[in-house]
Chains A and B, each alone.
Chain A
Amino acid sequence: MKKLLFLPVLLLLAGCNIRALHPASDTAATLTDLIYLSFGLMMLVFVVVMVLFIYYLRKFREKAYNVHHIPLDTRENKWFEITWTVLPIILLTILAVPTVQATYELTSSSAGNVDEAPQQAVEIQVTGKQFNWRFTYENGKQSMNELVLPVGQKASLRLQSEDVIHSFWVPRLAGKIDVFPGKVTRLSFVPNEKGTYQGKCAEFCGAEHTQMRFDTRVISEGEFQEWLKQE
């Protein structure tokens, strides 16, 4: 079938560096693993369905000799029905366990108690506003649309909006967290690779939502301290 051939071709076209699948932080790596696991399990389901589908379609398609035949009604087979009820449940359980684990692990760092300051982390205030991002560091340094982080150290973000809802997203470093007016949300991750990563607003926020982008620069600890001191 055409669409089956399509998949690998497109994968090649898209290049082998799809951002969400090339994590540069611990958090993003967890997410990538989950994506691959769920994709693998689901491909299994898809392949089974397709094999049955194509096989039955070829085998039972109307032929010249049986146009006027009337096939016998088949009775339901209890075991078949049990099989395709229980097998998906097993597959889903395999998927659910790491899902619950990862969800608890990552969500507590994004929605946990705001006052409980994490140890050994770079604390940054993130302010979303139509249509830009402002990052404020502990020493009062501010930067617009550019987030600078030291490699190998935990970055702990507190996010808030000044107007509508935005969503903070750096695909290579972490999943999204929504940014609300009048409420603080949190996100933390440890970037483990130097580089510059694209960040975007992922919640539609008005006319220039598209332009609400920023860069995340992950640099070495020394360079970071230098940068913090610069005016």
Chain B
Amino acid sequence: MNIPFIGEVPSDIVVAWIISILLGGFLFSWVTKAGKWQVIMKYAQTTHHRKIGVMYLLLAVVFFIRGGIDALFIRTQLAVPENDFWVFQSQKYNEVFTTHGTIMIFFVAMPLLIGLMNVALPLQIGANDLAFPYLNAVSFWLFAAGGVIFNMAFFFNAAPNAGWTMYTPLATDTFTTEPNNNYYILGVQVSGLGTIFTAINMIVTIIRLRAPGMKLSRMPLFSWSALITSVLILVAFPVLTIALLLLMFDRLYGTNFFMGEVGDPVYWQHLFWIFGHPEVYIIVLPAFGIFSDIISNFSTKRVYGYTSMVAALALIGLLGFMVWAHHMFTVGLGSMANTFFAITTMLIAVPTGIKVFNWLFTMRKGIVKIRTPMLFALGFIPTFVIGGVTGVMLAVAAADYQYHDSYFVVAHFHYTIIGGTILGSFAGIYYWFPKMTGKMLNEKLGKWHFWLFLIGFHLTFMPQHFAGLNGMPRRVYTYMWEDHIFLLNFVSTIGAFLMGASMLFFIWNIYYTCRFTGGAAADPWNGRTLEWTVGSPAPEHPFEPMPRIDSLDAYWYAKINKKQLPEAEDVRPSPIAVETFQPVLLAGVIGIMSIGFIYGWLWMQIVGAGASLAFFVIRSLTDERKRVYEREEEL
């Protein structure tokens, strides 16, 4: 489409601009009319874990819609052979699947889980906030800045196009010269920094701020999974940081880490997957934690095999670092390497199997109450087991020469990521919604959401296994009649639209609930863990007085024995909340610096870097604890 003063612009971008401007205008006038600016300003300054968690979730849902629309474009283009849907062929299609993958992993799966951790983790362990509230706000705003940078790319007709894996040398400036892939590097880098800070925050919170008496061995499984995930993040994300930095140097300053005489494109694959495979467990372990808590809660029974559940989490985390080269079986690393990584990969099935059987045995001899969160947990078990068994099939190194980079792999990882992370996040959102907003999501709409999503999901991804075996490679924008994969793809497309439709129920449910329903009780699910002892929504400083914990699910046992949780006296001081615009401004200037790097504008890099440094100085010179200590001394 030819636009005056700008030139040739693909029509999808024009449409996106128009829709965004209309939507933005509508939102602006709505917020003004409803007098909500004050609320927005409050949230922009907050360091409170629940509010930050809610913002994470909101932004994740927004990005989920973006990534979901990408997915629908992909499925529409692939619905029939030799299709020419709108603009989505060649490079445009490559952009769509690149942004789909990147957004779903970094800007949907991660923030959904981190958001839920923010909301529920402090409440589960009896902490009044995360250990470093200011840092938590910085984490969130860095994530938001990364998301904005990455999503901007599309609007400026420069969406990344080398796949979410950014394989070199395709991703170097020799083969993709435009700024497109710089957007990927900087967007993911900035949000990755936020993730690392979150991990530190979670670890310290869990180590330092548990309620008196809550030993690690009495901690709910979601908190355990948050702890182990945070450790994985702390080890894996710096590898991504380094890999992106090297790629950035290759692209911007002409170094040759990943090509040429001394460099090697395979280095990138190693670095990327040393991060990338633990990342898979980073996004699935918290979901396991959510399911453990929910299945126990709605089976009215203590979780079966608590100790082995924790051990399995830790073992999966550890093994997760030893399997990265199973993404590289066809690289030709040699029989020894391929065998080693095949065996370690198969081994992961053992702790995962232990978890599945423990979940089943938690239900056994319990009373299984099927509410929406439990429904998602029940949908998860068969779905994830399918994803798990195809995972073992993929681990068979030689057979992987057939599966590799085909739709079989696409089906496999959607089964694990959607079956694990996304179903887990939905379950968590339905479960903890009262703690976030003080309201209960509608059960009937929740069931519609669940069934449509689950049926749509299996329709979409089950056929892709067979399309892959029939020779359909990943990342192709079309196929031919003689490939004999038309029906499989057509069914897949129908399924994708069902999933899309199910999301309308979800969004309507949230709107309807927030608009038309009244307050929820503190303990609407007859829960077992500490978050259900505090009000809905969770107040600031919820644990005053602080309870003393003497067993796993202490609240539950107190409840059925008709007792109160005893009060603790030796309480650690709570983290100190502040109200400040600094985190959002810091993320803003880092964003500006990133744009400078993306387009190679030196002045902008300097301005952004200088301003960021100024924030570091300011922060080094402030200590909000001081005034609290002074007040305490006066007393």
Contact = CB atoms under 8 A, between A and B. Distances in A.
Interface of A: 1-3, 6-7, 10-11, 13-15, 17-21, 28, 30-31, 34-35, 38-39, 41-43, 45-46, 49-50, 52-53, 56-57, 60-62, 66-67, 69-74, 76, 80-81, 84-85, 88-89, 92, 95-96, 99-100, 102-108, 110-111, 163-165, 167, 169, 171, 174-178, 180-181, 185-186, 198, 200-210
- Among B163, B395, B473, B483, residue most surrounded by chain A Cβ atoms (within 10 Å): B473
Question: Would you list the 8 A-B pairs with minimal beta carbon distance, nearest first?
Answer: A175-B401, A42-B389, A102-B398, A111-B332, A107-B335, A210-B476, A171-B471, A34-B399
A42 B393 contact: yes
Chain A interface mostly: helix
13 contacts: A3-B462, A45-B353, A52-B360, A57-B368, A74-B304, A106-B401, A164-B170, A174-B401, A175-B401, A198-B471, A198-B483, A202-B404, A204-B94
Contacts of B162: 204
Contacts of B339: 99-100, 103-104
A189 to B, nearest CB: 11
Interface string B526-570: 000000000000000000000000000000000010000000000
Given A61-B370, A111-B335, A206 B175 contact: yes
A223 B367 CA distance: 72
Given A74-B364, A178-B330, A92 B346 contact: yes
A64 B299 CA distance: 15
A69 B367 contact: yes
A224 to B, nearest CB: 24
Given A31-B401, A46-B385, A163 B175 contact: yes
Interface string B332-356: 1111001100110011011001101
Nearest to B305: A76
A7 B465 CA distance: 11
B406 interface: yes
Interface in B358-391: 360-361, 363-370, 378, 381-382, 385-386, 389-390
Interface residues on B, range: 35 or more
Contacts of A41: 392
B405 A202 contact: yes
Given A20-B471, A46-B389, A56-B364, 10 more contacts: A1-B382, A14-B488, A34-B396, A71-B300, A73-B301, A81-B354, A95-B392, A103-B397, A104-B335, A175-B330
A100 B336 CA distance: 9
Contacts of B405: 167, 176, 202-204
Contacts, number: 271
- Among A20, A53, A66, A167, residue most surrounded by chain B Cβ atoms (within 10 Å): A20
B331 interface: yes
A57 B339 CA distance: 39
Given A56-B360, A103-B338, A20 B488 contact: no
Contacts of A6: 458, 462
A197 B360 CA distance: 46
B335 A53 contact: no
A92 B378 CA distance: 26
